[in-house]
């Protein structure tokens, strides 16, 4: 019997279940945006190739591209039919209306991102939401520390300060936030940014270690802005306690680069369906490499 079935998992799972297993076995679960069918196919296929659980998500900033009500049925169908456990997640939900649209559409976990608010307001509102969400068996992720962003469709983070350490999550505040809010996962800042890096990222793994020691054992720590970080640093972060690793921008850009190169080198007209099929396979191969790093040597 495959290990996932030995755990008693169905393939569509609550995020809390797979993060608990990842914490126990010191590996990380990839969390990747799937705003298009091509990305959805390639990413879930890669998780099946590696045999790892996966979190697929829909970000509020992508809702103008595809409404959550329209993409949710496909995400949930893929999750139910996958050969590995899959959680469907709302990423960087800020507007409560959007979040509840996602919940009504079948999402079983939510990131309620109020990280730009003062600590007390962030804690108060996330705590209230977590109580309601848990009563509905919906797991909750929050963020503490304000991660900078280079994206035009910003997640809410400001431009990078002169010293990125100004954005780092305070371990004492993280401990208080995690204990009082009861969130299942907490996104923390220790050197990453959203979007494309303008200089080589350097993660502070020692700071992540302090954060891991400060928060309750049952709280999963989340690393956002992971794409663009070299694999060695990601592997160090996983070993130090990052249980959920969000990755998107560089994967999306790599898919575009591959498709453009394929067209440029073809020397003849390329049918769109052939282009997308080849790109899906490239996404799958690239994502397989990522998920292998996140697995941290764990055998599923």
Looking at the annotation, which residues are catalytic? 91
CA 44 centroid distance within chain: 14
- C-alpha to C-alpha distance for 125 and 288, rounded to whole angstroms: 37
What b/e sequence results for 218-241 when a residue is b if at least 16 CB atoms lie within 10 Å of its CB, and e otherwise?
ebbbbbbbbbbbeeebbbbbbbbb
Q: Over the range 146-175, which residues count as b (16 or more CB within 10 Å of their CB) and which as e? A: bbbbbeeeebbbeebeeebeebbbbbeebb
Structure tokens at 294: 């996140």
206: tokens are: 């020692």
Count of C-beta atoms within a 10 Å radius of residue 142: 27
User: What is the number of H-type helices and E-type strands within the chain?
Assistant: 11, 8
């Amino acid at each position: 019997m495959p290990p996932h079935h030995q755990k008693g998992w169905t393939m569509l799972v609550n995020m809390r279940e797979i993060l608990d297993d990842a914490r126990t076995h010191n590996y990380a679960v990839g969390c990747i945006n799937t705003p298009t069918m091509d990305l959805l196919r390639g990413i879930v296929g890669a998780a099946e190739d590696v045999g790892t659980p996966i979190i697929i998500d829909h970000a509020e900033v992508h809702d103008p591209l595809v409404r959550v009500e329209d993409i949710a049925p496909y995400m949930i169908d893929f999750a139910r039919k996958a050969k590995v456990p899959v959680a469907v997640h709302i990423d960087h939900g800020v507007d409560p209306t959007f979040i509840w649209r996602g919940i009504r559409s079948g999402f079983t976990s939510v990131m309620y991102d109020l990280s730009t608010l003062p600590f007390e307001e962030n804690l108060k509102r996330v705590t209230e939401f977590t109580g309601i969400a848990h009563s509905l068996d919906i797991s909750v992720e929050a963020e503490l520390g304000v991660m900078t962003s280079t994206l035009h469709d910003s997640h809410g983070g400001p431009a990078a300060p002169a010293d990125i350490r100004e954005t780092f999550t305070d371990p004492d505040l993280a401990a208080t936030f995690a204990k009082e809010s009861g969130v299942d996962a907490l996104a923390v800042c220790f050197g990453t940014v959203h979007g494309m890096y303008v200089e080589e990222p350097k993660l502070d793994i020692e700071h992540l270690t302090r954060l891991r020691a400060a928060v309750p054992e049952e709280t999963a720590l989340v690393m956002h802005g992971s794409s663009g970080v070299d694999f060695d640093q990601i592997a160090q972060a996983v070993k130090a306690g990052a249980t959920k690793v969000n990755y998107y921008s560089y994967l999306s850009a790599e898919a575009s680069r591959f498709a453009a190169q394929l067209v440029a080198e073809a020397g003849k007209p390329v049918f769109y369906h052939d282009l997308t099929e080849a790109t899906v396979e490239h996404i799958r191969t690239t994502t397989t490499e990522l998920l292998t790093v996140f697995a941290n040597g764990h055998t599923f």
